[in-house]
Amino acid sequence: MSGNVPANLRYTKEHEWIKVEGNVGIVGITDYAQHHLGDVVFVEVPAVGRVLKAHEQFGVVESVKTVSDIYCPVSGKVVEVNTELENAPETVNQSPYEGGWIIKVELANPAELDTLLDAAAYAKHIEEA
C-alpha cells in the first residue's frame, strides 16, 4: 500500500513529511506510516523552544501495539507543537498531512531541504519496502 503522497511536500526515508511555509517547516508522519502503525493512541511532542538537529529524534508516535520514534527532517527551533493531538491522537490517522501535523520548526538551514526526498522518490522508496 503506497498511500497518499502529496506532490508539494518533502519526505524522509523514516516516513516524515515536511511542508515549508516561508521560513517555517511543518512536520508530520506520512499516510504510509500511519497505516502501518495502526490506531495512534499517543504522540509525544517536544517542548516549544527546543533546538533540533537534522535527523534528531524529537518525539514518539505510539499505537496500541507499537511505538515509533520520529525524526526531524531539518535543523531548527521548535516554534509550535500540535496540542490538539493530546485529546485526539487519532487525527494522525485520519488526516496525516493536515490536522495531524506534529511540530513546526523555524528552519536553521533551508539548504537541507534539498537533501530530502521529493514525492516521486519517496513513493519509490515505499514501493520497494
Partner 1 sequence: MSTVPLIFEKSTSGKRAITFPRCDVPEVALESLIPSELLRQKPAALPEVSEIEAVRHFTQLSRRNHGVDVDFYPLGSCTMKYNPKVNEEVCRMPGVGFAHPLQPAETAQGNLKMLHTMEQWLCEVTGMDRMTLQPAAGAHGELTGILLIKAYHESRADLARKKVIVPDSAHGTNPATAAMAGFEVVSVKSNADGSVDLAALREVVGADTAALMMTNPSTLGLFDPNVTEVAAIVHKAGGLVYYDGANMNAIMGYARPGDMGFDVVHLNLHKTFSTPHGGGGPGSGPVGVKKILEPFLPVPVVQMQGEQYVWDWNRPQSIGKVHGHYGNFGVVARAYAYCLAYGPELKEVSEYAVLNANYIMAKLRDYYDLAFDRFCMHECVLSAKTLRNEHGVKTLDIAKRLLDEGVHPPTIYFPLIVEEAIMIEPTETEDKATLDRFIDAMQRIAKEAKEDPERVKSAPHTTVVGRLDEALAARKPNLRYRGD
Partner 2 sequence: MRYIPITQADKAAMLRDIGVSSTEELFAANIPADVRLTRPLQLPPAITEMEILSHVAELTKSNANLQDYACFLGGGAYDHYIPSAVDTFLRRGEFLTAYTPYQPEISQGVLQVIYEYQSMVCALTGMDLSNASMYDGASALAEAAGMVVAQTGRKKVVIAGSVHPNYRRVVKTYMHGIGVEVVEAPLDHCELDLNKLAGLITEEVAGFIVQQPNFLGHVEQVRAIEAMVHAKGGLYVVCADPISLALLEAPGNYGADIVVAEGQSLGNAPSFGGPYLGVMATREKFARRIPGRIVGATLDTRGQRAFVLTLQAREQHIRREKATSNICSNEALNALAATVYLTLVGKEGLREVANLCVQKAHYAAARIAKLPGYQMACKSAFFKEFTVNCPKPADEINKLLLGKKILGGIPSSVDYPHIPNAMTIAVTEKRTKGEIDALVAALGEVK
Question: Interface with partner 2 by CB under 8 A: which residues?
Answer: 41-42, 44, 62-67, 69
Shortest reach from residue 105's CB to partner 2, in Å: 21
**Which one among 4, 8, 23, 39 touches partner 1, defined by CB under 8 A?**
39
Question: What's the min distance (Å) between Cβ of 37 and partner 1?
Answer: 11
CB-based contact 3:32 (threshold 8 Å):
yes
Q: What are phi and psi of 78, to 5 degrees?
A: -70, 120
Confirm if 44 and 62 have CB atoms less than 8 A apart. yes
For the bound state, the minimum distance from the C-beta of residue 68 to partner 2, rounded and expressed in Å, comes to 9
| Least distance (Å) between residue 97 CB and partner 1 | 21
44: buried, middle or exposed (CB in 10 Å: 19+, 13-18, 0-12)?
middle
Q: Where are the alpha helices (DSSP H) in 1-129?
A: 31-37, 84-87, 91-94, 119-128
Site for partner 1 contains 108 (CB under 8 A)? no
- Cβ nearer to partner 2, comparing 67 with 121: 67
Name the binder of 89 from partner 2, partner 1, none, CB < 5-8 A by kind: partner 1
Among 28, 84, 38, 78, which residue's Cα sits nearest to residue 62? 38
64 contributes a contact to partner 1 by CB under 8 A:
yes
- Which residues of the shown chain bind partner 1 in the complex (CB under 8 A)? 38-39, 41-42, 62-65, 89-90
